[in-house]
Amino acid sequence: MKESFEVAIVGAGPAGISAACKLADHGVTPIVFERGEFPGAKNTSGGVLYGHDLERIIPDFTDRKCPVERNIVESRLWYLNKNGGYSLSYRDTVFKNNRRHNIFTIGRAKFDRWFAGQASRKGAIVVCGTVVTDLLRDKNGKVTGVRTDRVDGDIEADVVLLADGINSPLAAKTGFRPEPSPEHVALAVKEVIELPEKAIQERFNVEEQDGVTIDILGDITCGMNGVAVIYTNRKSLSLCIGANLADFSANRIKPYEMMENFKDHPMVAPLIKGGKSIEYMAHWLAEGGYDHIPELCGDGYLIAGDSAMLFNALHREGSNLAMISGAFAAETILEARQNKDFSKQSLNGYVRRLENSFILKDLKKYRRFNMFLQKHREIFTTLPEGFSFAAREMLTVDGVPKKEKQKIIWRNLRKNHSLTDLLCLCWDALRSV
């Protein structure tokens, strides 16, 4: 193996591969290190991706046999209590016809492998089964390459892109991104449940190739700040549930037991009935938001994707932010290459690109969102039942006048929440989004 490359990329996920594609498009041959046996072997996400952002890397991705599971035509939001819950959904034929692949589901083992294949085809070198254990630096601290766990595994590079994901012992070791504290990540577990294609279509009321996403809040996360999702794949459902890691510690709740309770919920159980679990995984989500994004570049390196904590929890955007940040990193590298200058100053165009794009604009807009959820625990503890009581009362036909029912509902809500609390909740909610 040649021991010196212009660009070394750590991680063959969406950020690393997007950068590799862009670089290869411009005649640069990057080397990408992947610790899994193949790209995607270690990766997981809830499982949605966005066509608009993938198109920026692979314009004709649908013609290139991109492993799309289902095209999402309907998005549901559930707010659950123990017995049931509220459901709000939006479906539109626009997402079936005119804006197809606006949102679609993927399985990362298949998708990332396909995506890395596209980069290889363009000329990038993807080396699997290799862990990057350290970064090489010169006497001034400028990054000059990577150290891998292979024999004689040092590779020199003019610039290194760190795209190794949110769980990055490398970032912690080198100090480029401090280790996140448990408050600033959520731990999510995922189970993939196999079902016949037809059963999925019937249960979700969709046609072949179309699908639904359900994002879920409520007391399913046992009072912890967390979320669950159900996404439809072609022949399976992705079920994820997660909560703030510090909350897991404080409440002594086991993630896999929470998953089992979730599967037993009366709104969930009928959807997965008769299904067969085929895989169980775990992953972090960045919860720190805008204020915990690390320094995004330095002398000889840039950080992209999850590794840079670029995650928009409210809009479940992560993989696409990884792709676009990876592409921005590549553009910046190409620019710096013309001047033969990979200093921090020269790479700063990367930060400017992120700031001028939806990525940092959105994260800035929602910078208070996670604090809002952390502060207003009632969203996960008492409000699910309070709101359910209201719906249950109003829907029960029992001869009680509606005005009387309203009073009962209000009294019940006020048992746990003062008027000030409720106003504060509304005010903070508005401010956080």
Partner 1 sequence: MAATIEDKLFLNRFNVDKTSHLQIIDGKVCMEDCREQPCLYICPANVYKLERNRISVNYEGCLECGSCRIGCPHLNIDWRFPTGGFGIRHKFG
Residues within the interface to partner 1 (CB under 8 A): 35-37, 40-45, 107-112, 128-131, 133, 148-150, 167, 169, 179-182, 185, 187, 189, 191-192, 233, 236, 245, 248-249, 252-257, 260, 264, 277-284
**DSSP structure string for 155-193:** EEEEEEEE---SS-HHHHHHTSSPPPPGGGEEEEEEEEE
Range 279-289 burial, b when 16+ CB lie within 10 A, else e: eebebbbbbbb
For partner 1, the closer of residues 62 and 261 by Cβ is 261
For partner 1, the closer of residues 227 and 383 by Cβ is 227
* Nearest approach, Cβ of residue 239 and partner 1 (Å): 12
Q: Which helix (H) or strand (E) holds 52?
A: helix 51-55
Q: Where are the beta strands (DSSP E) in 210-352?
A: 210-218, 226-232, 236-244, 276-286, 297-298, 301-303
* Nearest approach, Cβ of residue 223 and partner 1 (Å): 15
For partner 1, the closer of residues 10 and 313 by Cβ is 10
For partner 1, the closer of residues 130 and 388 by Cβ is 130
- 48 residue type, one letter: V
For partner 1, the closer of residues 261 and 348 by Cβ is 261
* Nearest approach, Cβ of residue 10 and partner 1 (Å): 11
For partner 1, the closer of residues 59 and 270 by Cβ is 270
Residue 34, CA distances (Å) to 26, 57, 162, 176, 271 in order: 22, 20, 12, 19, 36
* Nearest approach, Cβ of residue 47 and partner 1 (Å): 8
* Nearest approach, Cβ of residue 75 and partner 1 (Å): 22
For partner 1, the closer of residues 231 and 380 by Cβ is 231
* Nearest approach, Cβ of residue 372 and partner 1 (Å): 23
* Nearest approach, Cβ of residue 376 and partner 1 (Å): 23
Tokens of 143: 């990054």
For partner 1, the closer of residues 20 and 185 by Cβ is 185
Alpha carbons 365 and 283: distance in angstroms, whole number: 25
* Nearest approach, Cβ of residue 141 and partner 1 (Å): 23
57 closest CA partner among 100, 18, 110, 101 = 18
Backbone torsion region of residue 56, taken as left when φ is above 0, otherwise alpha when ψ lies between -120 and 50, otherwise beta: alpha
Residues 202 and 237: beta-carbon distance below 8 Å:
no
Alpha carbons 38 and 32: distance in angstroms, whole number: 12
